[in-house]
Chains A and B, each alone.
Chain A
Amino acid sequence: MLEIPTISVAQFLGLVNQTLRSIPSETFMIEGEVADFKISQGKWVTFDLKDESIDAKLPCFMTTYQLGLPIQSGMRVRASGYAKVFERFGKFSLNVSSVTPVGEGAFAKAYAMLKAKLTAEGLFELARKRALPRFPQTIGLITSKEAAAYGDFIRILSNRIGGITIVHANVHVQGQYAVDEICAAFTTFNQLPVNERPELIVLTRGGGSLEELHAFNDERVVRAVFGSLVPVVVGVGHERDESLCDFVSDVRASTPSNAAELIYADRRDLLRQVAYIEDRLQDRLTGRLSGYFARIERSTMLFERTFIGVGHRFQGVTTGLSHAFDRFRLSIVATREHLERREQANEQRYRLTLERLSSGLKAFERLLESVNPDTVLRRGYAIVRNARGIIRDPLRLAVGERLTLHFAEGEIDTQVIGQHKQEKLL
């Protein structure tokens, strides 16, 4: 009897799963309608993917983290993943790695649902939007190197400004890797040391259909933009709808080129600004200087005026002095002359006076001589006195009275012996 090999349940399920993995399921999407959509413990997502035409259903399993856009029962989606039998429950399901709504209606619905949810959470609040640094030296750029957006952004930025460092994170901007890569780029930028971290991040891509833009409407990417440590400029070239990343961005640009324009003013404008500042500085300084010069001039003038005044006064004084001196000198001369004249005059006067006096004296002498009693006595006269004095009236004398007779040469004593009335001699 042929021995049939025996294996365990786990071993068998292992074989089954190995076989299931050989299906190249990640190379295609499975399209169907969502039914029985459930989220348990806020983490595990289960739903059935059903075919409308034939009665067929595929149980699906995924985590909320993998769910970029919210889906709900009745929504048409495309899912990709791999098939697996969970050993513990013996249940077959598709392990979904990505699921996206199909068709405008479904997409729009999912988009509206997520937008409402994130709005309620406050992710789009204007108050939390940060201003861009004025002149960022380092800019983080998250986009695909293959995309036109990359070239546009760098070209426009270089037209406007030079000397900037752009740190580029090369990512898919659509397709199944886009969400993970964009999120990883933000995480990496956030983890850089502050001095190496760009001053702002630009997340950009060209336009596309709503489906192509799915990553920019993915909750994980929206949260990554929200969680960026530096301001984020989102520039998605699209016309109709705004992506949720536009809403959550700090600054929204309409295109990749516009993102560059919003970050930097044109170098010509900046040059004009610098030139203006330069002029202004010059003006201010010139203004100040002319102020000083005016003050210096005023002081000089004041000084000059004062000095000239003093000079004039000095001159006045000296002139006055010399005049005074002249006058003084003249007056001395005049005085001397005057004195000389006076002297001469006086001399003359003295002489005259003396002459007059001497002639007067002679006359006086003569007069005196003439009245001198001695002279009279010498002419033969005598003075008669008694004890009382000179006798002028002989009739008052008594006979016998004693008298003295003064002669020129001597006296004699005598006595009245008789009296006679005088008869005129001549």
Chain B
Amino acid sequence: MVKKQTSFADAFQELETITAWFETAEVDLDEGLKKFERGLELAQMCKHKLAEVDNKVVDLKKKFASLEAMDVTE
């Protein structure tokens, strides 16, 4: 349940920030190249994350254990 170091959300958000920076800022070439490289890295990261197929399902247990013990039937 603990969040990963770089989630898709973080990567995507940073990517958007970089894009916005490119849209507005008077781009310094050195910084631009750095940001561009970071952008490509983030884009790769996003694609990688999107390629993940499985979702993890964990059971809510804390303080819910008593309810968990019940035989859940519909």
B52 touching A166 by the CB < 8 A rule? Answer: no
Residue A372 lies at the interface, judged by CB distance under 8 Å to chain B:
no
User: Which A residues are CB-close (under 8 A) to B55?
Assistant: 154, 157-158, 161-166
A146 touching B73 by the CB < 8 A rule? Answer: yes
B72 touching A171 by the CB < 8 A rule? Answer: yes
A163 touching B49 by the CB < 8 A rule? Answer: yes
B16 touching A277 by the CB < 8 A rule? Answer: yes
A288 touching B27 by the CB < 8 A rule? Answer: yes
A281–B72 CA distance with the chains assembled, in angstroms: 52
User: Which A residues are CB-close (under 8 A) to B52?
Assistant: 162-163
Counting chain B residues whose Cβ lies within 8 A of the other chain, the interface size class is 35 or more
Closest B residue, CB atoms, query A170: B72
Are A144 and B59 CB-contacts (below 8 A) given A135-B8, A271-B47, A277-B43? no
Q: Which of B1, B29, B50 contacts A162 (CB 8 A)?
A: B50
Residue A136 lies at the interface, judged by CB distance under 8 Å to chain B:
yes
Residue A133 lies at the interface, judged by CB distance under 8 Å to chain B:
yes
Please encode chain A, from 158 to 190, with 1 for each CB lying within 8 Å of some chain B CB and 0 for all others. Answer: 100111111111111110010001001101110
Summarize A's interface: helix, strand, loop or mixed: mixed
User: Which B residues are CB-close (under 8 A) to A165?
Assistant: 1, 55-58
Q: Which of A161, A167, A292 contacts B50 (CB 8 A)?
A: A161
A141–B12 CA distance with the chains assembled, in angstroms: 24
Closest A residue, CB atoms, query B39: A281
User: Which A residues are CB-close (under 8 A) to B46?
Assistant: 270, 274
CB distance from B31 to the nearest CB of A (A): 11
Residue A284 lies at the interface, judged by CB distance under 8 Å to chain B:
yes
* Interface hit among A76-84, A191-199, A220-228: A191-199
Q: Which of A170, A187, A278, A292 contacts B59 (CB 8 A)?
A: A170
Are A270 and B72 CB-contacts (below 8 A) given A165-B56, A192-B62? no
A282–B18 CA distance with the chains assembled, in angstroms: 12
A133 touching B36 by the CB < 8 A rule? Answer: no
Closest B residue, CB atoms, query A177: B70
CB distance from A129 to the nearest CB of B (A): 21
CB distance from B14 to the nearest CB of A (A): 11
A158–B55 CA distance with the chains assembled, in angstroms: 6
Residue A147 lies at the interface, judged by CB distance under 8 Å to chain B:
yes
User: Which B residues are CB-close (under 8 A) to A146?
Assistant: 72-74
User: Which B residues are CB-close (under 8 A) to A281?
Assistant: 18-19, 22, 36, 39-40, 43
A281–B32 CA distance with the chains assembled, in angstroms: 10
CB distance from B40 to the nearest CB of A (A): 7
A195 touching B47 by the CB < 8 A rule? Answer: no
User: Which B residues are CB-close (under 8 A) to A277?
Assistant: 15-16, 19, 39, 43
Are A168 and B60 CB-contacts (below 8 A) given A195-B3, A271-B50? yes
Closest B residue, CB atoms, query A173: B74
Q: Which of B12, B40, B47, B59 contacts A168 (CB 8 A)?
A: B59
User: Which A residues are CB-close (under 8 A) to B29?
Assistant: 288-289, 292
A284 touching B22 by the CB < 8 A rule? Answer: yes
A138–B4 CA distance with the chains assembled, in angstroms: 10
A1–B13 CA distance with the chains assembled, in angstroms: 94
Q: 7 shortest A-B CB distances, which residue pairs?
A: A162-B52, A135-B9, A163-B52, A284-B22, A169-B60, A278-B43, A146-B74
Q: Identify 10 new A-B residue pairs, CB closer than 8 A, beyond the known A140-B60, A146-B72.
A: A144-B74, A161-B8, A161-B55, A166-B56, A169-B67, A170-B59, A172-B70, A181-B67, A192-B62, A285-B32
* 30 A–B contacts from the bound complex (CB under 8 Å): A134-B9, A141-B57, A146-B72, A154-B57, A157-B55, A158-B55, A162-B50, A162-B55, A163-B54, A163-B55, A165-B1, A166-B57, A167-B1, A167-B59, A169-B64, A169-B67, A170-B59, A171-B67, A177-B70, A181-B67, A189-B60, A191-B62, A270-B50, A274-B12, A274-B46, A274-B47, A278-B40, A281-B19, A281-B40, A292-B29
